[in-house]
A and B are shown apart, each in its own frame.
Chain A
Amino acid sequence: MVEVSLIEASRRAAMQEMRRDPRVWVLGEDVARGGLWGQYKDFVGEFGAERVVSTPISEATIMGAGLGSALVGMRPIIEMRIFDFTMCAMDELVNQIAKIRYMFGGQAKPAVVVRMPHGMWRNSAAQHSQMLETWFAHLPGVVVVTPSTAEDVAGLLVQAIRSDDPVLFFDPKDLFGVPGIIAEEIEPIPFGVARQVSEGNAATVVSWSAAVPLATKAAQMLAEQGIKIDLFDLRTIWPWDQDAVIASVKKTARLLVVHEAVEVAGFGAEIVARVIDAVGPGALKAAKRLAAPRIPIPFSPALEAELRLTPDKVVQAMKGVLAA
């Protein structure tokens, strides 16, 4: 076992898989220089410039060329640098990658991993901070991975690279420096299995990505007051672990979903609706969401802080659910 930062965990996972499988290659801006986040440091030295391809700033072709290589049997890691730039490659992602297996009646399995570091990070403002993972949960044909720990990033990235499905891998920018302990030989973590962070009967809290450590801290603060909750890190929002969440809500009758993305039509709405459908509206004492207001991410620290979730805000929301 070794203690590493979250981004280093992702580097080790990708390196392990590139050593294991010569079909895996990585393309994206600056990846031969190690990538914007150092997530491909030393790759070009080991694997060469043909498999570690620094590209022009041509997002549509980064995305589409990754797909094209998959159609002849390669397994690309398509690096988008920052999620927001994926907007320049939406045709290739939404109309091509997500549809190609279906449209062609199963002739093609586009085994691509698209890495999209997302979320607020150091006052990067409206075009470098978005969390739009919900859009892709809405999109048939893809897996949506939203991890929050070094261990999960490593195991889920291994799983993603080995998967025959297109996997949209949302690296949590704000947590890149957070340490965790990973194995020397990283094992894959299956998609759709939540990680239970804490256990209790008082309420069910569901979260993912950058909101998880805040919810974890909040749960600890409540535990110190003797209030114990079931806290789940979904890890993947499509597929998502409906069984674990529904079983917990049947026990607690109180549900809170915490996510950094905008609340309106966010994935929390889907979770609340599914849970109500499963347990019946009368079985719930509370079903709430704590998420962002429907505004872009502002630049100024004073304004960004207004939007950021904090453990205190989560505790307050949890108390609201407990009091209902």
Chain B
Amino acid sequence: MNHLGDNLRRLVGLYRTMARIRAFEETSVAAHKAGEIPGPLHVSIGQEAVAAGICVNLRTDDRITSNHRGHGHAIAKGADPRRMMAELYGRANGYCRGKGGSMHIADFSVGMLGANGVVAGGIPIAVGAAQGLKMQKSSAIVTCMFGDGAVNRGPFLEGLNWAVLYRLPVLFVCEDNGIAAFTRADSVTVGPGVVARAQALGVAAASVDGNNVMAVDEAAQAAVAAVRRNYDPHLLHLRTYRILGHTSTDAAAWRPAGEVEEARRRDPIARLGAVLSERGLSAAELSAIVEEAKAEMAAARKEANDAAWPQPAVAYEDVQDTGAVAWSKYR
């Protein structure tokens, strides 16, 4: 696609990133259904514009903290889907040697400081990482991804206050899919919303359509620049929708008929596809991007399914240097 201008090339890149996230998660859901992937699997199908639109604006040395629904964040930040898939399978070559699984994927080499199994767990870590980077006079920033449920936890208040107090380079991203586990977020959250909460603490904040990747990209570009330039924390509230349930085995059947179908019409990938068509990309070109992503993830699935399990002794490693217990004692 060398004929494309810079702007169009950026949009194609976003399309590819979203297609890869979608393919990764659809592949992992299928593998979970087939009994190949154990444990809970929280997927972000329908929310891909958030990860893609934010992370396209980040450098490799920028850090992110993520949450339990973090596959997209990792892929968009540059993590290798093969090692991610191997981790979901619990295999030795996974990112965490099979000790983390879906909820704890991390790749420090690309600045991905880890998904997190505790809602809002990444917020204090993010502000501390930013504080460390500031002390080191680094120009890197930290982006902190959390959901609508996190704004009702104490660390949200503490972390935003902290970031403003010490003027830390943090971009807070509230990925609002409207549902906190099995409960409508607005049914348990009072007041005018996360943007107002952030503004009350002096954090510059804006609400954006999180299913419009071009809007997310534009807002993130401005916010990242401001955070990097002035150590001025920002918050972006990105409204999106979770197509599947809380976990891949949760049908979320309590949602009224038509709601999901309606949401599918706002699908971020299809929406960007329509824009790209208008700008001259052929159906074949778009389809090739999607098919390539599917093939990449199918190969990752096969490779993971064939990969070696970790040796039992690995369970005893990476605990601590002093005071670690020896595998030999427990055989």
Q: Which of B39-47, B120-128, B232-240 contacts A (4 or more CB under 8 A)?
A: B120-128
Q: How far is the CB of A51 from chain B (nearest CB, A)?
A: 7
Would A58 and B158 count as touching, CB distance under 8 A? Answer: yes
B262 interfacial contact with A, CB 8 Å: no
Interface centre among A53, A104, A164, by most chain B C-beta atoms within 10 angstroms, is A104
CA distance A66 to B131 in the complex (A): 9
CA distance A69 to B166 in the complex (A): 14
Instruction: Tell me which of B96, B124, B166 contacts A105 (CB under 8 A).
Output: B96
Would A108 and B108 count as touching, CB distance under 8 A? Answer: yes
Interface residues of A in 44-86 (CB under 8 A from B): 50-51, 53, 55-56, 58, 60-61, 63-74, 76
B191 interfacial contact with A, CB 8 Å: no
A101 interfacial contact with B, CB 8 Å: yes
- B125-143 vs A, CB cutoff 8 Å, 1 = contact: the mask equals 1111111111110100010
CA distance A75 to B128 in the complex (A): 11
A92 interfacial contact with B, CB 8 Å: yes
Interface residues of B in 73-95 (CB under 8 A from A): 94-95
Instruction: Tell me which of A70, A106, A143 contacts B323 (CB under 8 A).
Output: A143
Interface centre among B126, B159, B322, by most chain A C-beta atoms within 10 angstroms, is B322
Interface centre among B107, B114, B117, B165, by most chain A C-beta atoms within 10 angstroms, is B114
For B99, what are the chain A residues with a Cβ–Cβ distance below 8 Å? 102-105
Interface residues of B, count at CB 8 A: 50
Would B124 and A63 count as touching, CB distance under 8 A? Answer: yes
For A102, what are the chain B residues with a Cβ–Cβ distance below 8 Å? 99, 318-319
A140 interfacial contact with B, CB 8 Å: yes
- A184-220 vs B, CB cutoff 8 Å, 1 = contact: the mask equals 0000000110000000000000000000000000000
Instruction: Tell me which of B65, B114, B126, B161 contacts A58 (CB under 8 A).
Output: B161
A96 interfacial contact with B, CB 8 Å: yes
B63 interfacial contact with A, CB 8 Å: yes
CA distance A191 to B125 in the complex (A): 27
Would A239 and B322 count as touching, CB distance under 8 A? Answer: yes
Known contacts A56-B165, A58-B161, A72-B136; is A64 also within 8 Å of B124 by CB? yes
For B292, what are the chain A residues with a Cβ–Cβ distance below 8 Å? none
B246 interfacial contact with A, CB 8 Å: no
Would B125 and A71 count as touching, CB distance under 8 A? Answer: yes
Would B104 and A104 count as touching, CB distance under 8 A? Answer: yes
- A126-167 vs B, CB cutoff 8 Å, 1 = contact: the mask equals 000000000000001111000000000000000000011110
Known contacts A72-B63, A103-B96, A103-B100; is A58 also within 8 Å of B128 by CB? no
For A72, what are the chain B residues with a Cβ–Cβ distance below 8 Å? 63, 129, 132-133, 136, 138
Known contacts A64-B155, A103-B100, A108-B106; is A143 also within 8 Å of B124 by CB? no
For A91, what are the chain B residues with a Cβ–Cβ distance below 8 Å? 118, 121
Would B114 and A104 count as touching, CB distance under 8 A? Answer: yes
CA distance A71 to B121 in the complex (A): 14
For A107, what are the chain B residues with a Cβ–Cβ distance below 8 Å? 95-96, 106-108
A225 interfacial contact with B, CB 8 Å: no
Would A65 and B128 count as touching, CB distance under 8 A? Answer: yes
- A93-127 vs B, CB cutoff 8 Å, 1 = contact: the mask equals 00110001111111111000000000000000000
Known contacts A102-B318, A108-B108, A239-B323; is A66 also within 8 Å of B100 by CB? no
Q: List 27 A-B contacts (CB under 8 A).
A: A50-B134, A51-B135, A58-B161, A61-B128, A61-B158, A64-B124, A64-B159, A65-B128, A68-B125, A69-B129, A69-B132, A71-B125, A72-B63, A73-B132, A101-B318, A103-B96, A103-B106, A105-B95, A105-B97, A105-B99, A106-B97, A107-B95, A142-B320, A143-B320, A165-B320, A165-B323, A239-B322
Q: Which residues of B contact A (CB under 8 A)?
A: 63, 65, 94-100, 104, 106-108, 113-114, 116-118, 121, 123-136, 138, 142, 154-155, 158-159, 161-162, 165-166, 317-323
The 7 closest A-B pairs by CB, nearest first: A64-B124, A68-B128, A65-B128, A69-B132, A239-B323, A105-B96, A105-B97
